[in-house]
């Protein structure tokens, strides 16, 4: 990215305005933006809002840069030309409108404009002629994204718009026209960010048919069971996806007939074209309730020659409206989604409501878009790792006062993560080359952040200024047990940073090559350690560059919130070490520890789990579906592919359990290493003092010599009587109830019994038995597809390797390879079970936070040091907060913001009624929360940090009286509009966002 010019601008903005959000009033242009700039509509007529737009994927068939510059002719698409020609056209005619959505591309273009062009664009924005809609860094996916990353990517996009265009750059409408289904959490996030409405294109074909025929394609989405009106959002399902009426695409990419209005021409077609257009309009009008309809005049990468569109639209508007003189009641106008929304709002009608979500998405009876919940599992994991590190990076930046000058380094990862959220990035629905480019972009962002973490930690650790600063290395491949500093150094330091605002005591592990070690904490105490062998299938993962055959495990006890603890690790003679070599056996018997253990049958297969004083049956099985193969010509011939999951048979092939396992036991951890077949193995792991099972699965390279694509699943089977119901998280936050073979708002006709019951699992899926009062949950380390296809059973899809394209555009089979072999994926499930109720629910919520923001390990080689010399030179402990936050409060955001201010988000992580104590409102003092600085003032913003909370006023929508009146739910806390809020009260599931001014100690 060419950050320099933009950065200069940012600094200037920050210096002038001191904080966010900017309320810029350009004295030169007194015109209005926003709703005030909307074109007039004609009362009594059908107003047809023509919305010129372009849908610019932040990578898909081409890389981000290839799309921007127009390189690589696989698809004729150059975003720079779109913005060039649109801006040119808008200047000629004040009536013309355009919306722009993907800010990642907009800034690439803006950075290349000279002052006079920037001035022109500013003017267009101030007058509402160029309007930003959506406004995130990308148009994020909604199924496999985590809410933290969605909030981040929206915030970053909105921030840049706010910096440059002030309040006229604030989008009012969510524009999710292409993502493959829609989450309730995303709607909730838009509402909390102050958006007035949401438009989208894709919903289940049956749902769409019903909604259009009952005129309920517009509704008020009540997007949270906890947040009341704050999470309500007017939602519009588009009539014709995001395309223009058939035959009316006036683009260089289309072949549709232009409007020929020369009456002397033999090709004169005005009457014919107008008739056809009006016929479409009349049909659409019947499906919506107000006298307004919206037509999306554009598509993928359209408007590279904007004149072609506008000159034809000019004619269409002219000739259609001319008919009004003869009694036509159709009025065409250039408009925007927000102007359409305002017109609909002005109709003052009552709207139906919706409480569930729009998953799964099916485009026909055999095309369930549930494959992408799992597609490219290693990219999905890498993205989650990126989020973990981005939060660590932001926090350390803020805690150590690195100042504004280094912010560009942080932006690289912020923006990389913004790109990753795109609906063809984390979804795995891009071409292979593009997937590699996403990995490149994310790697670069991580490398930039490594500079920040080094600088931050080294600002804290040397006890004297003149001492040399250590080099801190990340080990990003710990998931395949590879880490150069821990393997190559005899002495090294591992600094464990805790990004949570609670005290945790995690188990730490990394690969080593020695046979006995001493691990010393800051006080010099020698900690108990355990050596555990690395399973052979892991050692053999293609591309793994490691000689290590064992991992060293120890527990980092009482790791302070936002703090770190350094551990000095030295390879020593066995008599000096505290290392326990795991006991190896292949006998069956109990597995686990005193209060949490499995019994096994005679063959050693896990049989019952005892936890929290109850015992119940639980079993596990791996299997795979064969991907359906067809020519994609008809619905029934659809292939399983990157988007679509379509098994050939509803019954998966279950892998026989060959009972090939070894157990390794010791004081810290017990493990079962199981080999299921040549391409499937797992480690089942129970740490002492933990009440869950860690299942580390290893899948691949998936064999395809038989010419069959495979979609690998794991099932967890229990005795729970779940009565057709199961629960899945929405983007890692609230839980939604699912009913097998059913949808809450229409009668489902299901011809794909497996794929049509799959839902996105971003962090958790669970079952409840209300009679036995038992619960079984699986937490994931990345997004996966999942379901409960039988009572008592949970199923998750781990990996997919397919040999056919599903014909939704990618044009490639999802056949990932690495190092010349089928791609191997390794990941973790966390199995939590026991008596249902508050204890388990709270455990699951906290575990989910701990696994999302895991302690970050920074390694430094210390061969020239002993513990004594290191501890005399370097500080080994750091506390970021004075007091841990209460168990139900999560520090969602701590990051450097504008100038010297910081952005802080606090979140209540429990839903109403989940726990008698912790589900209540909770009050936190901001003032003395952080150790390195004091917060001197805090101003609350909307969730996107681009608008002060007190300034926010959203459009009001009436809901039909038969729905529950949720108005009384509005939070007292949210009504507190005091300028300075240092004491923050949070209601269940509430997130509150603050721009804080701080004073660092000693300054």
Of 178 and 409, the one with the shorter C-beta distance to Zn ion is 178
Residue 139 CB, nearest distance to Zn ion (Å)?
7
Q: Is 178 in the site for Zn ion (CB under 5 A)?
A: yes
Select the span of 145-153, 170-178, 522-530, 834-842 touching Zn ion (CB under 5 A).
Answer: 170-178
Select the span of 54-62, 372-380, 499-507, 744-752 touching Zn ion (CB under 5 A).
Answer: 54-62
The pair of structure tokens assigned to 320 is 């259609």
Binding mask 776-815 for Zn ion (x = CB under 5 A): ----------------------------------------
Cβ 233 vs Cβ 223: under 8 Å: yes
The pair of structure tokens assigned to 203 is 């919903």
Select the span of 56-64, 311-319, 613-621, 912-920 touching Zn ion (CB under 5 A).
Answer: 56-64
E strand or H helix at 247: none
Span 455-484, contacts to Zn ion by CB under 5 A: none
> DSSP assignment of 131-194, as one string?
EE-S-SSS-B-SSS--HHHHHHHHHHHHHHHHHHHGGGG---EEEE-SSSSB-HHHHHHHHHTT
Q: Is 57 in the site for Zn ion (CB under 5 A)?
A: yes
Select the span of 157-165, 176-184, 498-506, 532-540 touching Zn ion (CB under 5 A).
Answer: 176-184
Of 57 and 879, the one with the shorter C-beta distance to Zn ion is 57
Span 586-625, contacts to Zn ion by CB under 5 A: none
Sign of the Cα torsion 288, 316, 329, 41 reads positive
* Active-site position among 84, 141, 163, 178: 178
Binding mask 629-668 for Zn ion (x = CB under 5 A): ----------------------------------------
Select the span of 55-63, 446-454, 475-483, 756-764 touching Zn ion (CB under 5 A).
Answer: 55-63
By beta carbon distance, the residue nearest Zn ion is: 178
Sign of the Cα torsion 801, 805, 808, 810 reads positive
Q: Is 907 in the site for Zn ion (CB under 5 A)?
A: no
Residue 376 CB, nearest distance to Zn ion (Å)?
16
CA distances in angstroms from 978 to 167, 681, 894, 984, listed in the order given: 21, 57, 21, 11
Residue 369 CB, nearest distance to Zn ion (Å)?
13
Cβ 101 vs Cβ 300: under 8 Å: no
Alpha helix (H) residue ranges in 173-269: 184-192, 205-213
**Cα–Cα distance between 405 and 661 in angstroms, integer?**
54
Residue 718 CB, nearest distance to Zn ion (Å)?
39
Of 57 and 225, the one with the shorter C-beta distance to Zn ion is 57
Select the span of 51-59, 90-98, 182-190, 635-643 touching Zn ion (CB under 5 A).
Answer: 51-59
Residues with Cβ within 8 Å of 876's Cβ and at least 6 positions away in sequence, in order, are 461, 521, 522, 565, 566, 568, 870
Q: Which phi and psi (to 5°) does residue 17 adopt?
A: -100, -10
Of 140 and 582, the one with the shorter C-beta distance to Zn ion is 140
Of 810 and 842, the one with the shorter C-beta distance to Zn ion is 810
Is 178 part of the annotated catalytic residue set?
yes
**Cα–Cα distance between 81 and 52 in angstroms, integer?**
15
Of 53 and 673, the one with the shorter C-beta distance to Zn ion is 53
Q: Is 230 in the site for Zn ion (CB under 5 A)?
A: no
Of 60 and 716, the one with the shorter C-beta distance to Zn ion is 60
Of 175 and 492, the one with the shorter C-beta distance to Zn ion is 175
Residue 609 CB, nearest distance to Zn ion (Å)?
44
Q: 3-state class of 105 per DSSP?
A: helix
**Cα–Cα distance between 208 and 174 in angstroms, integer?**
19
Residue 229 CB, nearest distance to Zn ion (Å)?
31
Nearest to 204 by CA among 635, 687, 748: 748
Q: 3-state class of 835 per DSSP?
A: strand
Of 241 and 725, the one with the shorter C-beta distance to Zn ion is 241
Q: Is 538 left (phi over 0), alpha (psi -120 to 50) or beta?
A: alpha
Residue 56 CB, nearest distance to Zn ion (Å)?
8
Residue 177 CB, nearest distance to Zn ion (Å)?
8
Of 242 and 472, the one with the shorter C-beta distance to Zn ion is 242
**Cα–Cα distance between 782 and 408 in angstroms, integer?**
28
> DSSP assignment of 495-543, as one string?
EEE--SSS-B--EEEEEESSS-EEEE-TT-PEEPEEEEEPPHHHHT-TT
Q: 3-state class of 455 per DSSP?
A: helix
First and final CA of the chain: distance in angstroms? 34
Binding mask 408-447 for Zn ion (x = CB under 5 A): ----------------------------------------
Of 132 and 930, the one with the shorter C-beta distance to Zn ion is 132
Nearest to 383 by CA among 543, 149, 542: 149
Residue 915 CB, nearest distance to Zn ion (Å)?
40
Span 876-905, contacts to Zn ion by CB under 5 A: none
Residue 178 CB, nearest distance to Zn ion (Å)?
3
Of 178 and 251, the one with the shorter C-beta distance to Zn ion is 178
E strand or H helix at 417: helix 407-420
The pair of structure tokens assigned to 56 is 């610019």
Classify each residue of 635-671 as buried b or exposed e, where b means 16 or more C-beta atoms within 10 Å of its C-beta.
eeebbbbbbbbbbeeeebeebebeeebbbbbbebbbb
CA distances in angstroms from 334 to 88, 94, 270, 396, listed in the order given: 16, 10, 19, 48
Span 263-322, contacts to Zn ion by CB under 5 A: none
Of 67 and 397, the one with the shorter C-beta distance to Zn ion is 67
Residue 64 CB, nearest distance to Zn ion (Å)?
13
Select the span of 161-169, 177-185, 618-626, 775-783 touching Zn ion (CB under 5 A).
Answer: 177-185
Residue 239 CB, nearest distance to Zn ion (Å)?
18
Select the span of 11-19, 52-60, 204-212, 863-871 touching Zn ion (CB under 5 A).
Answer: 52-60
> DSSP assignment of 697-716, as one string?
EEE-PPP-TTS--EEEEEEE
Sign of the Cα torsion 147, 148, 149, 153 reads positive
Nearest to 82 by CA among 248, 309, 249, 302: 302
Q: Count the site residues for Zn ion by CB under 5 A.
A: 2
Cβ 148 vs Cβ 852: under 8 Å: yes
Is the peptide bond prior to 410 cis by the omega test (within 30 degrees of 0)?
no
Number of Cβ atoms within 10 Å of the Cβ of 126: 24
Residue 641 CB, nearest distance to Zn ion (Å)?
16
Select the span of 175-183, 259-267, 437-445, 456-464 touching Zn ion (CB under 5 A).
Answer: 175-183
Span 819-858, contacts to Zn ion by CB under 5 A: none
Known catalytic residues? Answer: 178
Contacting residues toward Zn ion, per CB under 5 A: 57, 178
């Amino acid at each position: 990215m060419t950050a320099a010019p933009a950065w200069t601008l940012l600094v200037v903005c920050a210096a002038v305005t001191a904080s966010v959000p900017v309320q810029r009033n350009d004295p030169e242009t007194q015109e209005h933006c926003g709703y005030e700039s909307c074109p007039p509509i004609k009362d009594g007529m059908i107003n047809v809002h023509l919305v010129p737009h372009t849908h610019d994927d932040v990578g898909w068939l081409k890389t981000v840069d290839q799309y921007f510059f127009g390189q690589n002719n696989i698809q004729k698409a150059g975003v720079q030309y779109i913005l060039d020609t649109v801006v040119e056209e808008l200047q000629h005619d004040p009536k013309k409108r355009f919306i722009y959505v993907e800010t990642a591309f907009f800034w690439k273009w803006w950075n290349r404009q000279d002052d006079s062009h920037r001035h022109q664009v500013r003017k267009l924005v101030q007058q509402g002629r160029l309007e930003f809609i959506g406004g995130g860094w990308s148009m994020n996916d909604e199924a496999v994204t985590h809410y933290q990353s969605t909030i981040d990517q929206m915030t970053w996009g909105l921030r840049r718009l706010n910096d440059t265009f002030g309040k006229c750059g604030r989008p009012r409408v969510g524009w999710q026209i292409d993502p493959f289904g829609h989450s309730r959490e995303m709607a909730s996030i838009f509402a909390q960010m102050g958006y007035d409405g949401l438009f989208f294109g894709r919903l289940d074909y049956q749902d769409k048919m019903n909604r259009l025929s009952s005129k309920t394609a517009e509704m008020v989405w009540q997007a949270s069971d906890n947040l009341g009106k704050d999470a309500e959002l007017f939602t519009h399902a588009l009539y014709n996806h995001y395309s223009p009426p058939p035959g009316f695409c006036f683009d260089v990419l289309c072949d549709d007939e232009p409007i020929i209005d020369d009456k002397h021409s033999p090709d004169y077609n005005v009457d014919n074209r107008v008739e056809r257009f009006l016929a479409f309009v009349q049909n659409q009008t019947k499906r919506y309730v107000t006298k307004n309809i919206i037509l999306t005049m554009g598509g993928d990468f359209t408007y590279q020659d904007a004149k072609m569109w506008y000159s034809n639209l000019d004619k269409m508007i002219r000739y259609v409206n001319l008919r009004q003189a003869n009694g036509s009641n159709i009025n065409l106008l250039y408009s925007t989604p927000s102007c359409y929304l305002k017109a609909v709002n002005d109709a003052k009608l009552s709207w139906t409501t919706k409480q569930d979500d729009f998953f799964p998405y099916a485009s026909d009876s055999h095309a369930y878009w549930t494959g992408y919940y799992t597609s490219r599992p290693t990219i999905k994991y890498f993205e989650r790792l990126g989020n973990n590190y981005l939060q660590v990076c932001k926090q350390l930046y803020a805690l150590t006062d690195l100042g504004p000058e280094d912010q560009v380094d942080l932006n690289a990862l912020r923006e990389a993560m913004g790109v990753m959220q795109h609906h063809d990035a984390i979804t795995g629905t891009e071409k292979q080359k593009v997937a590699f480019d996403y990995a490149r972009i994310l790697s670069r962002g991580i490398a930039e952040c490594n500079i920040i973490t080094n600088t931050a930690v080294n600002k804290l650790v040397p006890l004297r200024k003149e001492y040399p600063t250590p080099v801190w290395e990340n080990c990003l491949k710990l998931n395949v047990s590879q880490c150069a500093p821990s393997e190559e150094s005899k002495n090294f330091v591992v600094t464990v940073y805790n990004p949570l605002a609670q005290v945790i005591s995690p188990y730490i592990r990394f690969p080593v090559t020695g046979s006995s070690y001493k691990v010393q904490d800051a006080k010099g105490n020698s900690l108990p350690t355990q050596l555990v062998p690395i399973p052979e299938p892991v050692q053999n993962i293609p591309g793994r560059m490691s000689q290590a055959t064992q991992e060293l495990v120890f527990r980092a006890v009482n790791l302070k919130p936002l703090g770190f603890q350094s551990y000095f690790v030295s390879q020593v003679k066995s008599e000096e070490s505290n290392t326990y070599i795991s006991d190896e056996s292949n006998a069956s018997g109990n597995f686990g520890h005193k209060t949490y253990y499995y019994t096994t049958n005679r063959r050693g297969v896990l049989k019952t789990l005892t936890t929290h004083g109850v015992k119940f049956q639980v079993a596990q099985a791996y299997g795979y579906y064969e991907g359906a193969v067809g020519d994609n010509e008809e619905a029934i011939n659809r292939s399983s592919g990157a988007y679509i999951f379509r098994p050939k048979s509803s019954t998966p092939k279950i892998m026989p359990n060959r009972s090939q396992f070894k157990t390794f036991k010791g004081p810290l951890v017990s493990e079962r290493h199981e080999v299921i077949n040549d391409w499937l193995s797992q480690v089942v792991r129970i740490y002492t003092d933990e009440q869950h099972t860690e299942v580390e699965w290893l899948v691949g390279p998936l064999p395809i010599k038989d010419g069959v694509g495979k979609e690998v699943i794991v099932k967890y089977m229990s005795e729970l009587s779940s009565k057709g119901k199961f629960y899945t998280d929405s983007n890692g936050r609230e839980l939604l109830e699912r009913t097998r073979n059913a949808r809450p708002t229409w009668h489902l006709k299901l011809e794909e019994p497996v794929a049509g019951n799959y839902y996105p699992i971003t962090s958790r899926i669970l079952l409840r038995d209300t009679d036995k009062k038992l619960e079984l949950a699986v937490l994931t380390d990345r997004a996966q597809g999942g379901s409960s296809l039988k009572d008592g059973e949970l199923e998750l899809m781990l990996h997919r390797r397919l040999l056919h394209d599903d014909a939704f555009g990618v044009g490639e089979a999802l056949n990932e390879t690495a190092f010349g072999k089928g791609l191997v994926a390794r990941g973790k499930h966390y199995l939590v079970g026991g008596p249902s109720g508050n204890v388990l629910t709270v455990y699951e919520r906290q575990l989910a936070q701990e696994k999302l923001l895991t302690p970050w390990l920074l390694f430094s080689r210390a061969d020239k040091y002993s513990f004594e010399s290191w501890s005399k030179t370097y500080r080994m402990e750091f506390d970021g907060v004075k007091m841990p936050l209460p168990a139900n409060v999560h520090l969602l955001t701590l990051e450097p913001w504008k100038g010297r201010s910081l952005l802080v988000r606090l979140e209540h992580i429990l839903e109403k009624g989940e726990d008698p104590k912790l589900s209540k409102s909770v009050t936190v003092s901001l003032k003395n929360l952080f150790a390195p600085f004091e917060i001197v003032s805090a101003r609350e913003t909307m969730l996107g940090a681009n608008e002060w909370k007190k300034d926010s006023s959203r459009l009001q929508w009436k809901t039909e009286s038969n729905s529950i009146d949720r108005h009384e739910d509005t939070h007292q806390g949210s009504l507190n509009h005091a300028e300075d809020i240092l004491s923050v009260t949070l209601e269940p599931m509430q997130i509150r966002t603050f721009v804080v001014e701080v004073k660092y100690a000693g300054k």
